[in-house]
Every structure is written in C-alpha cells, then in structure tokens.
Chain A
Amino acid sequence: MEENKTIEQTEKKSMLVINHLKKKYLNSKRYSINDLTLDLKEGEIFGFLGQNGAGKSTTIKCITGIHPYDSGEVIVCGHDMKKDPIGAKKNIGYVPDNHSVYEKLTGREYVNYIADLYRVPLLEREERMNRYLKMFKITFAADRQIKGYSHGMKQKICIIAALIHDPKLWVLDEPMVGLDPQSMFDIIDEMKAHTAEGNTVFFSSHNIDLVSKLCDRVAIIHDGELKALIDLHEEGKRETLESVFRSLTMAENKA
C-alpha cells in the first residue's frame, strides 16, 4: 500500500519545482541556500525542517518571490518565478512567520483587499471568508481594526487571506507559533482538506512530532543544504524522523 502511494506520487503533477537554487545575501560570504533541489507533487503535505538559521525561511522567501535568488529555478504550477512571476504568484497562498498585515484595515477590509488582488469572484470570497472566519472563530472580529487583534488572531487573518483565492500551493512559515490548540487542529484539518482537493501544502516547522504525523514527505535542511528528503509513507520513517533530524543537524550552523 505504502509502495503504491510512492509510485503514484511520482506520476503526479509537479506543483513546485526547485532546481539547484542558490541564494547569497548581500555582504554575506556564504550561501544561505546552496544547490537546493525539490519537487513537490499535487496533493501532498510537505514539511520543511531545519534548525534556526538553516535556510528554511530564506527558501520560502525565494519560492514566494520575496527574495531574489542568484541561480537555479523556482517553478510554481508550471510558471517560472523569474520569467513569469505574476503567473507563479497567482498560484501561491503565503502565511508569513511574523503575521504582518495592514493593521489599519479591518479584518474584512484586509481579506477583501487580498481577494481583489487575486480577482476572486464575490460569491466565492463570501463563502470562503465566512467559512474560515467561522472555522477560526473570529467572525466577531471581522469588522474590527486589525491593530487591536491578538497575536493568534493576526495569524488567523493571515491564513484566511492566504486561502481566500484557493491557492494551488499553500506555503506556511512556522504556522503554528502562537496559536491555541483548537486553532492548530483547525489548520491541520484545513491542510488535509486543501491537499485532498489536489492542492499542495509546503510548510516549515520546528515541531518534529507534528511534521511526522501530518506530512507525506519531509526535507531536512542544514546550513542551506538539503541533507535528507524523506518519504514518510515508507515503513518506519515517521518513527525515526526525530533521530534522523538530530543526527543530520548536530553540527553547528555556519551562519
């Protein structure tokens, strides 16, 4: 059964292809990402593990178009981020680690603004917005200015804005930080529901236990380099993920 799933996965459409990606920050001597290659398929939840400063957030920022990269390719749903950035960005929904949003707007205004940018039809946005507001239990705050939101509420409005256009690739940077347990379960459920529709979820995390339970595959990055790509459907991989991670990331980051 596990073997079949792995074979099935290789035949599936690629949603995110990262080819030999290299990124060096200005005034830095070392590559923050060095020759990273990944291929994320439709319908999978992909975990991205690494220590602090390993290059997780930098990778995510390159994928989403926030950071330029020195060489390599990032292809989102067939659109090259360098050649067709708009086409690529249309397919991404991104939740940042710092939950920054336009705080002078109300929650509804903000989500509507994002929906406008992705040209989401009115009926669809209304249905999605109401569903997510209800799911994350922040309907009561939808018309309040975001400035007054708590950390968790800002995180939730970021997630709603990222999902309002039903992206094919949902990218989350440390999404569970600051969330209450119930909201975490809701996000996990939404990740599963999102991938069940043929979409892909790519998220970074420090929570190995969560990644091992939730993800189909996981990449471990250390010092900007890919150290392991693990298919968690293979027997025994979920159970050994923690020890593998520890052995691969034992050395101190060079950053």
Chain B
Amino acid sequence: MRSYWTLFRLELKARFGARGMGNPVFTVIKTLIFLALVLLVYMAYIFGVKQLIEMFYLYDMSTEFLVLFIAISQVLLVLFGISSVIKNLFRSGDNELLMRFPVSAVSVFAAKISIFVLYQVIFTVLVELPVFIMFGITTAQGWSYYALLPVVLVFSIILPLAISNLLAIPVMQISSRTKNMFALSLLISVIMVAAGFAIYMNVIQGVVDYMKEEAMSFFSKKTMVQVSKASKYIYPSNWFAYMLIGKWRLGASLLSFLVVSLFAGGAVLLNKKLYFSTILRDIEGSGATFTKVTKNKMRSPMWATFRREFLDIFRSSNYSFQYLCMAVAAPVMVFCCNRLASSMGENTIGAVIVPALALMVMMIFCAIILSFAASSVSREGENFYLTKIVPLSYRTQVLIKLALYMAVSTLSLLVTAVLIWVTGQIEVRYAFEAAGIAFLTSVAITCFAIKLDIKRPQFAVGGDGELSVGSLSTFVTLFIGFTVSVLYGLFGMVGIFLWGTSMTFGILVGVSGGLALLAALWLMIGLNKRYERITQR
C-alpha cells in the first residue's frame, strides 16, 4: 500500500509537477487564452446538446437520445482509454526504471490506473453529467432518475475503463506489427480523421438545420425510424438508459451490474496475469525496426536534405499525423466546414458571402497544418548539431524546410480549391483566388513560425527522438493564424457587399503578398547569425 502511494505521488508529479517554466507573462496569457477557448467550446457543446435533446423530445424519441448519448460517450471513452492505457500503463517511459525496483506489478498498475480513473471522472462530470441533468429537466424525470444517476455515472467510468484494458493488449500487438507500415498508417489516419470530421460536421449541420426550421427533422423520417429500432439493440447502453428512465428498471439494473462486473473482473484478472509480462515483451520488441534495401544514389545537397526532412516526418507516426495527415484530410474538412458555414451564412446574410467564408475556412486549416513549422528547428533534437557542421548554409537549410511546408500546403490548397469548385460550393475563379490568397498567407505564417522557433527553440525530445512538449511558438503561430483567418473572413464578407468579390479578393491578394514579403524578410535578414547563436549544451 505504501509503495502505491509513493508511485501515485510520483505519477502526479510527473504529470502536473514541472510547471512555471519560461516567461511567466506568456504562461499567464497562454493559460487565459486556452481557458477562454475551452469555455467557448464547452458552451457550444452544451448549447448543441440542448438543441438535440429538445429535437429528440419533440419527436418522442427521448429514450433513443439517451441510449445514443450513453453509447457514443462509452465508445469515445473506450477509444481514448485504449490509447491512454497503452501510453500510460504499458508504454510509459518509466516502466523500465520501475521494474528494477522492488515494487509489485499491482502497485505500479494501481498507481498508473488511478491517474487514468481521475481523467475519466473529470470527463464524466464535465461532459456527461450536465447532459444527464439537461435531459432530466427537459423530459421532466422523477426523483428515481436523479437517485440512480450516480450509479450510471460510476458504471460509465468502470465499463470503458475495463473494456479499454481488455482491448489494449491486442491493439498494442497490432500497432507493433504495423508501426513500420508508414503509408498504411497515414492512410488509416486520414480516413479516420476525414470520416470522423465529416460525421461530426453532419451532426452540427443537423442541429443548424433544426434551429433554422424547428419542424424539420435532424434526420429523415426513415432514418429516425432506423435510429429508434437500432437503439433497442445497443447493449449495454440501452440497459443504462432504461435503468434511469424506469423502463424495465429491475432487469436493466441487474444486467447492467452483471455486465460491468464481468468486464471489470476480466480486466483485473487479465492485468494481474499479463501486466508485467506484456511490458517486458513490449520493451523487448520496441527495438524492432524496418529493413529497406536501397542502392547508393547521388543527389544534390538540397534535394537530399528535402528528402531527409520529409522522411523524418513520414516515418514518425506523431509527426505524420500532426502534419501530413492533417494536410491530406484538410480538403475534406474544409469542404464540410464550408458547407456548414455557407448554409449558416447564406441564411443570415446571403449567398454572396460564400467565397469569403470559403477563404476563411481554408486559411484556418492552413494555420493548423502550418503550426507544425513552428517546431522546425526544435524537432532536430539531438541531431541539431548536424545542421551546424554540414557544409550547407543555414539559410539554405531553412529555405529547404520552408519549401517542404509550402509544397505540402500548396498541394492541399489546390485539392481543396478543386473540391469546393467541383462540388459547386463556389465558382472556379473564386476557388482558385481564395487558394492563392491562402497560399500567400501560408508563406507569411510559415516564415513567421520558423522564425519564432529559431528565436526560441526547445529541444525537449523524448526517448524516441521526437518532441515531447508542445512549444509556445506553435501556440503563438496557431493563435496568429486563426486571428488573421477570421480578420480576412470578416473583411471579405464586408468587402463583398461594399466593393464586390473581385475587388475584395484583389485587395486581399495585395495584403497577403505584402505580409508574405514582410515575413520572408523578417525570417531571412540576419538568419545566419541568429541560427549560429542557437546552442545545445
């Protein structure tokens, strides 16, 4: 028991201990902006769910809503849980160290899982509880609903936790086998991100449509019937819901208890038996890498560096997801966002503003993708010395990085322009003009991001040689990118009404060109000296 508390405190310190590094003013600003954004998203979530509850209530489908909500929450918690369990329990950086000490597997497991439970409790209280309360009020539930709510909440914590634990080991084995299949991993990530985003935006679109015309259903009538039928078979979420609303309460309660006990018991038994041995096998297998037979080939120094830079991103699941996956999925995400923004904008202001909305959405996604450039130097990590000793000027090396980012984002922008043009969201001329403006702004954002990183690089890489902390530069780049995008969007909408689309886009091309030029000058002037001053002791 004593070792459990020691390990638990250690876990808490590892996660929340080392704070207050860096400029305190920046830290406060960063925290305030972050909190404001979180609050905004949270309010939007609460508002959206409230609309959904009312809509389902209107169609006499409240039970179906509750079942669906519980099921979706459980699935999300399981998905989040699997990755957390793998990351924190099985592949935690300190596992190898802890195994050398005289502590039992149970203590290590319990200390690590406690943190995970803490996260689950926070999620349940912040995300699920308000929805259950809103549901109770809207559908006028009695005291028994509220009395049984804590039981359902506890079940909602235990069940995903247990399922995550049971699934973590097979998922780990699959991920170990596929970790060097980079293209496949990227493809799967792109499909998942694009599909997830499309579904999410469809739900939002449904809420918006419902708000526009309350009589209109979120789904078609046929879909509503199917949802109603399917919700009867979504086990055990339907039992949890029945337990709350008093439909077949005793049976549902007993079955819920049985299922939760079974999964929890199974997870405890499995981990008791396999926890340490799985960690050991994983540590042993972590060195397994790929073999690729290539011929010696001569390339120009610039092309060789460009290629190496790309491979470094492509062969890292983290970087590939953060950058390449987002860039490839961006056209789909822009398309979905644009459709939603257009339907909202058209309804309130008029169809003429659609090009400005498209531009804003394009630029927001560009900002997300290009924030990756704000770790260009930091990502070199322990290899930073190599950039100093090779006979290639710092300017050339930085330009190569810039070229890589621009190549990827330009391709992404072009595909986006074609997609929104072909699907009839926007005229061909405006689609490519918007892409052009977004391209010029991307140059400015990328130059700005690289410069920020050169000024304040953070070589905090983990054991795998990859950046382990998010940098302030990335955050600042994102913030500036978002701000510029919104300003452009607002200017575009106002400008279209005042001067028409051609004139407005013409002005934005000029402004973006000027910004790109200024940012490029800011990056390039004194670059060699600034780069030379970067040191790693």
Contact = CB atoms under 8 A, between A and B. Distances in A.
Please report whether the interface of chain A is mostly helix, strand, loop or mixed according to DSSP.
Answer: mixed
Contacts of A89: 389-391
A92 B308 contact: no
Contacts of B292: 106, 109, 143, 145
Given A66-B389, A67-B535, A101-B383, A116 B293 contact: no
Contact of B301 (A96, A119, A121, A129): A119
A117 B390 contact: yes
A98 B304 contact: no
- Contact residue range for chain A? 35 or more
Interface in B291-308: 291-294, 296-301, 303-305, 307-308
Given A86-B393, A98-B382, A116 B298 contact: yes
Nearest to A165: B391
A89 B385 CA distance: 13
Interface stretch (B217-225, B282-290, B422-430): B282-290
Contact of A117 (B291, B293, B304): B304
Contact of A116 (B304, B388, B532): B304
B96 interface: no
B465 interface: yes
Contacts of A120: 298
A10 interface: no
Contacts of B281: none
A65 B289 contact: no
Given A86-B393, A113-B304, A145-B291, A122 B382 contact: no
A92 B389 contact: yes
Interface in A84-132: 85-86, 89-90, 92, 94, 96, 98, 100-106, 108-109, 112-122, 125-126, 129
B458 to A, nearest CB: 15
A124 to B, nearest CB: 10
Given A67-B535, A86-B391, A145 B290 contact: yes
B316 interface: yes
B391 A118 contact: yes
A148 interface: yes
B461 to A, nearest CB: 10
Contacts of A118: 390-391
Interface residues of B, number: 40
A112 B296 CA distance: 6
A116 B292 CA distance: 19
B296 A104 contact: no
A117 B305 contact: yes
Given A68-B535, A143-B291, A116 B301 contact: yes
A25 B534 CA distance: 11
A65 B533 CA distance: 11
A113 B397 CA distance: 14
B380 to A, nearest CB: 9
B2 interface: no
A144 interface: yes
B392 interface: yes
A53 to B, nearest CB: 11
B291 A68 contact: no
Contacts of A112: 294, 296-297, 299, 304
Contacts of B99: none
A121 B299 CA distance: 10
Contacts of A101: 383, 386
B311 A105 contact: yes
B15 interface: no
B289 A105 contact: no
Contact of A100 (B288, B294, B385, B391): B385
A113 B307 CA distance: 9
Contacts of A116: 298-301, 303-304
B19 interface: no
Interface string A10-48: 000000000000000110000000000000000000000
Given A68-B535, A89-B391, A147-B287, 14 more contacts: A64-B389, A65-B388, A68-B533, A86-B393, A94-B389, A96-B385, A100-B381, A104-B311, A104-B465, A108-B296, A112-B304, A116-B301, A117-B301, A125-B298
| Complex A-B, nearest 7 residue pairs according to Cβ-Cβ distance, in ascending order | A116-B304, A148-B289, A145-B289, A100-B382, A104-B315, A89-B391, A66-B388
12 contacts: A100-B382, A100-B383, A100-B385, A100-B386, A104-B315, A104-B316, A104-B465, A106-B291, A112-B299, A117-B304, A118-B390, A147-B465
